[in-house]
Structure formats: structure tokens, C-alpha cells
Structure 1
Amino acid sequence: MLKFDVVIVGSGLAGMTLALHLAERCKVAVVTKRDLLEGSSSYAQGGIAAVLDTDDTVEEHIRDTLVAGAGLCNATTTRFIVAHSKEAIDWLIDLGVPFTRDATHQTGYHLTREGGHSHRRIIHAADATGAAVTTTLGQKLKAHPNITVLEEHIAIDLITSKRLGLEGRRAYGIYALDKQADRVVTIAAPHTIIAAGGAGKVYLYTTNPDTATGDGIAMGWRAGCRVANMEFIQFHPTCLYHPHSKSFLISEAVRGEGGILRLPDGTRFMPSHDARAELAPRDVVARAIDFEMKKHGLDCVYLDISYKPAHFIREHFPNIYAHCLELGIDITQEPIPVVPAAHYTCGGLVTDLAGRTDVDGLYAVGEAACTGLHGANRLASNSLLECLVIGKAAAADILATPPGTQPAIPDWDDSQVTDPDEEVVISHNWDELRRAMWDYVGIVRTNKRLERALHRIELLREEISEYYRHFHVSNDLIELRNLVVTAELIVRSAMERKESRGLHYSRDYPETLAEAHDTVLTPQR
């Protein structure tokens, strides 16, 4: 058994922020299922939204967030996070994050603009902000004597009072599979944080890395936490469409800097869908692209920034330029083929502004959580900001909370299971689940599609549960078990919403209701 003051599941920006804020006074374990920097945060291209310019205001950033969120953002949460945005960026700068500079700007940094924002307020490190931030923070983590990074460990389940046969509802740590040793370890801690990211891999096409399998959301649900607004899955409008490129995102900032969406014949189409054209929020742009692709029978549309000076493109989008060039696409000379792809989970485990869930001692921060900031549609570049602000608030709450008494925790018992006879069951169910979600629970939904999806998911859930009961756990089995839970939560949430709002568009309920309500699901306890 490993014992810590705090165990953090996930090593993205949320997990790193918590670890660094806690480490001076706590022994912290960061559990990550691959290496430290393998997660959605590292892949974030655009940047972090914050009120840094004197021409910008907290009120305007709040207003933009509320507009994008289609009436469903929690106003108190939004104000809290936006009001602490400059403080969060200052912390990163103090840690040495190399944001792109601009000597002509009052802040000393280049600020870009993205869809849904009324101002240039996105601070960034060229077009690889996430990598710059997580690399900088990752170096601090690995050097800190109070932080233990457990790479190649995947969390299986939370250790709860219910699991231990105790009164109350509390978390005491996790069981995790050490993939290199192929054994399950017990990690005990009075404070447990789920910072495991979203669930993009529940869909066939996604911008997310392979690690985004809804682990934290599924674990929290099984432990007794409510989930909210899981129907709001953000599809990024512009994922590179190329047979030899997997899940490569074309940043929102390309449109922010003047990129134009065109049909194969060169016709610009966004102005006919929305007055904001390419700078409309992501849900509007993704639906417009989906509409045009279906209308014209297209495999993709094209994002064109080639009319800009070549040096401007190479300077602002060096990684996108280099990656496309490797595939034979010179974005200074020709448009980029793009399609929408699942990108961000706006819902998640219900938390307060300190990241506290329904289970004592259990916190959720980042994409696995639902604070109410994103509403029915996340405003671009607000997600990393949420990780920073709520991460710091959660750390403060943990430091102010007595740890309590840790009970005796038994080791993982796998004496009644055997090695799997054939693992084709896992790969087949994985593929069937993701295809069903893509076909039936995508950008445009209907009652019939959702019913079909739920029927297939229920059958798959039973098969996966039976397999889990009989065989030793593996990385793929753990992820599949979590994916099917997350898929069911998405579908059941979508079936609850009898309207179209933000990222949830239903042909059966095309109107938006006058009053906005969260969709909250409560597990059987």
C-alpha cells in the first residue's frame, strides 16, 4: 500500500496546478496512465482566455462566456473564474511559461482572438500553448521532493466508505493498475482529486488523445457522485482531414486571425449561417460545416488562410504549418481540409467552486468536472483557465480541511478471476460503442437515434460487466468499462433535454425553451 496526503488522478493542467499548490505542505501522488505530459492539456493549441488588456474588462469576458453558454452558465461560477484570470496567468508567468511576446503591446505579450470573444484576450505560446504550459509545470513537479509521479498507472476505482462497508459517503484513495508491473496497487489518501480529463474517445472521430476515455467521470459516478450536462459534447469545427493524420486539431486561432471556411469550389459559406461568420461560437460553426457536408455530399470543407502573408502564417502557426507541410499541404499556398470532431466534454461531475463533489474527501477539477462555467457550449480557451482557478481553490480547501482518520483498506482481490481467453471482445466492443455514438449521438440528434444508441449501449454494458467480473483487469478493459458508462450518461442526459440548446441540437425539439435548466443525473446509492 502507498500512502499520501493527497492522490491526484490525472496529470493535465488541473492535476499539475493542484500538485504544485499543495506540495509545500502535503505529500502528493500524481497518477497518470501514460507519461506525465500525455493528456489533452498538452495538446491545447490556442491559449488561455484572460482579462489582461486595459481595453478589456471582466464584465465583457463574462458576457462573452454567458452568450456562448446559451443561457446555461452559472453566473456566480463564471464571475469567480474570470475575476481570477489575471492572477492565474501571472502565476504561470512567474513559473516561467514562455508565452509569445509582443513588445508593442501594453502587456508585453501577444494576445489573439478566438470565436465568441469580443476582444483579443487569448494569451498563448505560438500555436502550442498546452505543451509549453505542461512542459514548464511538469519540470517543477518532477523536481519537487513532496510530489511522486506514478506514470503508467491507470486508476481502476475509488476506495469509498461504501466499498469498505462503512457508514457515510467518503473517499479514501484509489486502486490503480501498475501497467509495467501488471499488478494492482492500493493508494490511500484522505483527499482524492479526479483530474482525469474528458471523454472524447467515446466518439469515433475526436481531437482528443487516446487517454480521454472518461475515466474520472465514470469512477465518480460509480462512487455516488451526480453528473450534470453530459449531453453537451463540443465538436471542434476544424480537425485536419487526412488519411495519414490522426486527431490533429486546427486551432480556433486560425479563424481568429482571418481564416475563411470554403466549399471545394471556393465558395465561402459561414456568412449565410451566422452574422459572426467564422468567428461564431464552435457549436454554430460545427453545425454549419455538418450541414454543408451533408447537403453537398462532401467528405470535408476547407479552411483558407493562404491569402495572408506567408511569414505571418509561419510565425503564428508554426506547428500547424509544419505538420500540414509534412502531409504535402502548404497552408501558405492552399486551404486546409477540415471536418468537425468530438473535442470537449462540457458536463461532468457536479462540483462547487472549491472542486468538492458529493462524496466527502473527493474533488473533481478540469474537464471531468461540471462547475457551471461552460453551460451549453464552452467559450474557446476558457477550459485551461478553469483548471488554473478551480485547481488553486481546491488546493486551498484541502489545506484548510482536517484530513480525518484513514480506515484499514484491503488490498485488491483478484483471486476469483482468470486471464482472458480472447481479447477480441474488448476491441470489438470498443469499436462498436464509438461507432454507435458517432452515428446516433453526434452533432445533430433525434429521439430515434438516441433510442437506438441507448439500446446498443445497454447490451454492450452487460457484456463488458460480465467480462470485467471474470477476468484480470487490463488498461483496455478499464478504459472500455469507463467509456460505456460515460456513453450511457451522455445518451440519458440527451434524452432528458426536450429542446435544442448550445451543443445539443435535436430535430425533434428544434426550439430553445424560455427557461434554462441543467440536466442532472443522480446514481443509485
Structure 2
Amino acid sequence: MTSAIVVGTGIAGLTFALHAARRGVDVTLVSKAAADEGSTRLAQGGIAGAVFAADRISDHARDTLAAGAGLCDEAAVHVLVSEGPARVRELAGWGIAFDRDADGRLRGGLEAAHSFPRILHAGGDATGLAIESALLRAAREAGIRIIEHAFLTGIVMSAGRANGVRLLREGRSQTLTADAIVLATGGAGRLFSRTTNPRVATGDGIAAALRAGAEVRDLEFVQFHPTVLAAGSPFLISEAVRGEGATLIDDEGNRFALDAHPDGELAPRDVVARAVAACMAAQGGRPVRLDATRVPRLRERFPSIDAAMRERGLDWTREPVPVTPAAHYLMGGVRTDLHARTTLPGLYAIGETARTGVHGANRLASNSLLEGAVFGARAAADVARGGGDHPLRATSPARAEASGDILPFSREALQELMWAHAGLIRDADGLRLAADTIAAWCAGRPAPRTVAEHEDDNLLLVAQSLVAAALARPASVGAHCRSDDMPRSPLPVPALSVPSGAAC
């Protein structure tokens, strides 16, 4: 019997597990924390899909390509939008009750850069939680083995093939082996001082893939969400709120987003996020405000967000609330093909860990949950038919230089460094400073022993690769904004492997 180990229990990992088990694969799911503690459960915005009669798959493809600023893989986009409706219907079959109107018809929402209201939600703004709960329940009912609180410390390679994982459980090292290894560990939002990502998003799968020799690509494309509550701990305010009519205003009450793009608050996320940052800078760093006071049924439509507002003593039905940008989603990751194969035999990557090519330079809103479901299912089919012996062809890697004096390291210092020099707006001088500082922090680091030390090493390695990728792309495009080259013109860049001299 073919066996597979899946590291990660979000929508991508769980979809893979359910599809693979159905095809007779012996699946083991591994979770860094509790199985339901990850990014999927936090997703508010919903899942996109051309499931309405008046919508067209070709329109969903066009919107995805436009948002990606010319850097999407068209074949991957075609797979996403053409197979997406089936995956959405499958989710409904697993028990996700998507929201419906008074007549019992599916309710579609509108988000930035979509030409049609094709976003499905469950429980208003609790779509991710509904999906996570239903898939996890289905996995347990199917008897799929789930190992919780097990930290991935490395990928086991034998004769050039991935055939196992090294885990840290209760302070002890453990090795598990399988015919296929699937990375579904999410992104690396904890690289930045401001992020919507949960505490577990420390780039573990991407770092493990880099150390094993797999290629990564597009790490410079980090999506910054423009509306994160700037009162208390960071809390995302879904783009769907703006889709329902909420506006962004400055200290004087002006809708400044319209000055940046004709679509205003519903322009692509990178445009809106930079407009928010520019407005904040112009008003002395003070947050801008989101005005949702005219949105009908606000509390009913967005109950989770409303609860968070109330916890912070805010009444967003009566007054605008302060918001700021924050790191939200990594468009790049481990490079994969249309079957989720990486450049290493036996190793797959899905979800935010992967760079499938569907997002290009800027993810279209609500395509991420869809990507996890579509490519999770595709990876399962490939593993079941033994496709892991045919990896993606490798390309020549770029190398980053390591230099600089040793400086005091802390995770907070790394996060502030990345926010300042590899965040919303970058330039060559800041990126070189970041590269030198990270290289200095990496030099001479002792071998990690605890989970926190492993996480720090993973963050440093992914940060090193992200900064190298940002330096290698001198032109601004999509979410990658270089202040030293403001015109948008996509340039091809090579994939990245472990930078030379990397000790992390």
C-alpha cells in the first residue's frame, strides 16, 4: 500500500488526506500544534468559485490573471478555476453550510478585483472555521491517523528521494517514513512585526524544503492586507466588509483610496495597502479608519468581527474604526507543478507552502482556500498513481551573499527588520542592510534544541531567501514594490535554493 505523510492540517492537508485515503493511500497527518490551530480556521473572506449560473469560469480566470500582474502561470490558473466548482460542491458535501438568502439560494459576495460576486461564505465571516471543523471531522471519521504537537525539523532524503520526516515531540526526536511527503504547513507571516497570521506560521515547511535542496520561487511576493484592526492585538477585518460598502477615510473624512485607483477600496489589495500606508505616513503615522456604519445588517453579516470589536470596546456600527496594513499571505513558496510535485522526487507541497503559480505577483481575494482544495486533491491523485518519481525539473538557483557583523538576534528584531526593509515598500539599500544583518545573525548559530529555536532558524532561513529574491527583482510588480523603481514591469528571475553560506 502506498503511504503518505502530510505535514499540516489546514484545508490543503485535509483535502489531500481525504482524497488520498479514498484512493487507498495510508495517510498520516502531522500537526505542529493542535490539529485545528492554523490559518484556515481564521479565514473570514470565503472561497471563490464560478458556481453561479451568471458567472463564467473564463471570467474568474481573467480576474485571477489581472490581479497577478502578468506573472501567473496560465495553466495553473486554468486548473484552479475549472476544477474549483467541483471542489466547492465537494466541501458542501462534507458538511459546510454556505450562506444562503431568504429564498434558499447561495449568497455570493464581492471582493476586490472580482468582476462578479462569486465569493461563498459560511457563518458570515466564519468560513475558514466552518471548513476546518468539517474537514477535520471527516478525517477523523475516515480513521485517518493524526499526530498533534509534532514539530517538523527536517525531511529525510534517501538516494535523492524524500521518504520521511524528522519530528520533535515532547522534547524527543522521532523519524517517520513514507512513500510520499506532503508539505502543507502554511506561510511565514511571523517574519513581520505586523501580521494576521497565527503564531504557528513560521515558514517551517518552506525552510525544511530549502534545507533538503528543493527550489522555492516568488518569496518576494508577500501580500499585505490593508485593513487590520489597529486597536489591541492584530485582527483582520475581511475585505468582504468593503465589498458590502465600507469605505476607508483619512483624518479629515476623505475617501483617499479613490485617489490611488478608480475602484477605490475594491482595487487590488497591494494598491489599497500602499494607499493606506501612504495616508498613514501623511498624517504622522496615525491609522486610517474603516467606515462601515452604512453597511446594512453589519453585526449579522460579520458576527466574528463584531465580537472582536466589542471585546475592544468599539462599536463599528456607529463610528469608523482604526485600521493598518499587516502581512497576510505569501504568494511564493516551494516551487511545484500542476500535480503539486516539487523539484525533489517524493516531495509535494500544497496550500500556502507551495508556489503553484496561480497567484502571480498578487493573490486574487478568496482564491487561497480554493487553491488548497484544488491542488490538495490533485496531489492526492498523483501520489495514489505513483507520480512522485517524476519531479518538477530544477532550474539554476540564484545565490545570496553572506556578510556583515554579528548583531544581537531576537525574533522581535528580525520581525522589525523585515517590516522596515522587506515590507510594503522596499529599496536596494534597505534590502542589502536586511541581507547583511540576517547573514550575521545566521553565522555561528548553535544547533537548535527547542521548538522556539527551530522556529527562529526557519524564520531566518526564509527571511534570507525572501530578501535575496526581492534584491534579485529590481522592478516593481504587484505586491513587490521597489521605491527605487516605481514603474511596474515584470522581470523573470531564477528560483532560489539555500543561499551560499547559510547557516540557518
Note whether the superposition's TM-score is higher than 0.5: yes
Which one-letter code corresponds to 2:333 in the other structure? G
Q: 1:132 — aligned with what?
A: 130
The Cα offsets for residues 201-228 of structure 1, whole Å up to 9 and x where unpaired, read as 0001100000110111111111111111
Q: 2:270 — aligned with what?
A: 283
Among 474, 486, 495, which residue is 1:520 paired with? 495
Q: Could you say if the C-alpha distance between residues 373 and 402 of structure 1 is closer, same or farther in structure 2, counting changes exceeding 3 Å?
A: closer
Task: Say yes or no: does 1:17 pair with 2:15.
Answer: yes
Alignment partners' CA distance in 1, 2:5 and 2:114 = 36
For the residue of structure 1 that corresponds to 2:236, the secondary structure is coil
Alignment partners' CA distance in 1, 2:408 and 2:438 = 15
Q: 2:397 — aligned with what?
A: none
Which one-letter code corresponds to 2:164 in the other structure? G
Task: Say yes or no: does 1:237 pair with 2:226.
Answer: yes
- Asked if structure 1 preserves the Cα contact closer than 8 Å seen for 2:250 and 2:288, the reply is yes
Flag structure 2 segments of 5+ consecutive residues without an equivalent. Answer: 390-405
Cα-Cα RMSD: 1.9
Q: 2:41 — aligned with what?
A: 42
Alignment partners' CA distance in 1, 2:471 and 2:281 = 24
Aligned residues: 482
Q: 2:487 — aligned with what?
A: 511
Which one-letter code corresponds to 1:184 in the other structure? S
Alignment partners' CA distance in 2, 1:308 and 1:449 = 41
Q: 2:155 — aligned with what?
A: 158
- Asked if structure 2 preserves the Cα contact closer than 8 Å seen for 1:236 and 1:282, the reply is yes
Alignment partners' CA distance in 2, 1:120 and 1:94 = 22
Q: Could you say if the C-alpha distance between residues 345 and 524 of structure 1 is closer, same or farther in structure 2, counting changes exceeding 3 Å?
A: closer
- Asked if structure 2 preserves the Cα contact closer than 8 Å seen for 1:43 and 1:128, the reply is yes
Alignment partners' CA distance in 1, 2:407 and 2:367 = 35
For the residue of structure 1 that corresponds to 2:286, the secondary structure is coil
Among 184, 187, 197, which residue is 1:195 paired with? 184
Which one-letter code corresponds to 1:467 in the other structure? P
For the residue of structure 2 that corresponds to 1:339, the secondary structure is strand
Q: Could you say if the C-alpha distance between residues 426 and 152 of structure 1 is closer, same or farther in structure 2, counting changes exceeding 3 Å?
A: farther
Task: Say yes or no: does 1:362 pair with 2:347.
Answer: yes
Alignment partners' CA distance in 2, 1:14 and 1:343 = 17
Task: Say yes or no: does 1:120 pair with 2:117.
Answer: yes
Task: Say yes or no: does 1:269 pair with 2:256.
Answer: yes
For the residue of structure 2 that corresponds to 1:486, the secondary structure is helix
The Cα offsets for residues 175-226 of structure 1, whole Å up to 9 and x where unpaired, read as 0011xx3211111111100000000000011000001101111111111111
Alignment partners' CA distance in 2, 1:295 and 1:500 = 22
Q: Could you say if the C-alpha distance between residues 102 and 478 of structure 1 is closer, same or farther in structure 2, counting changes exceeding 3 Å?
A: same
| 1:468-507 matches, cutoff 5 A | 468=447, 473-507=449-483
Identity of aligned residues (%): 41
Q: 1:259 — aligned with what?
A: 246
- Asked if structure 2 preserves the Cα contact closer than 8 Å seen for 1:229 and 1:519, the reply is no
- Asked if structure 2 preserves the Cα contact closer than 8 Å seen for 1:429 and 1:460, the reply is no
Q: Is the deviation greater in 482-491 or in 24-33?
A: 24-33
Alignment partners' CA distance in 2, 1:10 and 1:335 = 37
- Asked if structure 1 preserves the Cα contact closer than 8 Å seen for 2:186 and 2:203, the reply is yes
The Cα offsets for residues 408-448 of structure 1, whole Å up to 9 and x where unpaired, read as xxxxxxxxxxxxxxxxx999521211111011111111111
For the residue of structure 2 that corresponds to 1:444, the secondary structure is coil
Among 175, 200, 207, which residue is 2:196 paired with? 207
Among 306, 321, 328, which residue is 1:336 paired with? 321
The offset of 1:26, in angstroms, is: 2.0
Moved segments of 4+, more than 4 Å: 425-428
Alignment partners' CA distance in 1, 2:248 and 2:455 = 36
Q: Is the deviation greater in 96-105 or in 201-210?
A: 96-105
Flag structure 1 segments of 5+ consecutive residues without an equivalent. Answer: 405-424
Alignment partners' CA distance in 2, 1:60 and 1:187 = 44
The offset of 1:512, in angstroms, is: 2.3
Q: 1:461 — aligned with what?
A: 442
Which one-letter code corresponds to 1:5 in the other structure? S
Task: Say yes or no: does 1:172 pair with 2:172.
Answer: no
- Asked if structure 2 preserves the Cα contact closer than 8 Å seen for 1:4 and 1:187, the reply is no
Q: Could you say if the C-alpha distance between residues 342 and 26 of structure 1 is closer, same or farther in structure 2, counting changes exceeding 3 Å?
A: same
The offset of 1:103, in angstroms, is: 4.3
Q: Is the deviation greater in 291-300 or in 360-369?
A: 291-300
Alignment partners' CA distance in 1, 2:142 and 2:74 = 37
The Cα offsets for residues 239-296 of structure 1, whole Å up to 9 and x where unpaired, read as 1101x3x231100101111010001232211111110100101000000001111111
Which one-letter code corresponds to 1:23 in the other structure? A
Q: Could you say if the C-alpha distance between residues 80 and 518 of structure 1 is closer, same or farther in structure 2, counting changes exceeding 3 Å?
A: farther
The offset of 1:336, in angstroms, is: 1.7
Alignment partners' CA distance in 1, 2:130 and 2:369 = 13
Q: 2:63 — aligned with what?
A: 64
- Asked if structure 2 preserves the Cα contact closer than 8 Å seen for 1:51 and 1:61, the reply is yes
Q: 1:436 — aligned with what?
A: 417
Q: Could you say if the C-alpha distance between residues 328 and 427 of structure 1 is closer, same or farther in structure 2, counting changes exceeding 3 Å?
A: farther
Task: Say yes or no: does 1:381 pair with 2:357.
Answer: no
Q: Could you say if the C-alpha distance between residues 171 and 56 of structure 1 is closer, same or farther in structure 2, counting changes exceeding 3 Å?
A: same
- Asked if structure 2 preserves the Cα contact closer than 8 Å seen for 1:72 and 1:518, the reply is no
The offset of 1:39, in angstroms, is: 0.5
For the residue of structure 2 that corresponds to 1:292, the secondary structure is helix
Alignment partners' CA distance in 2, 1:60 and 1:186 = 46
Alignment partners' CA distance in 2, 1:370 and 1:209 = 20
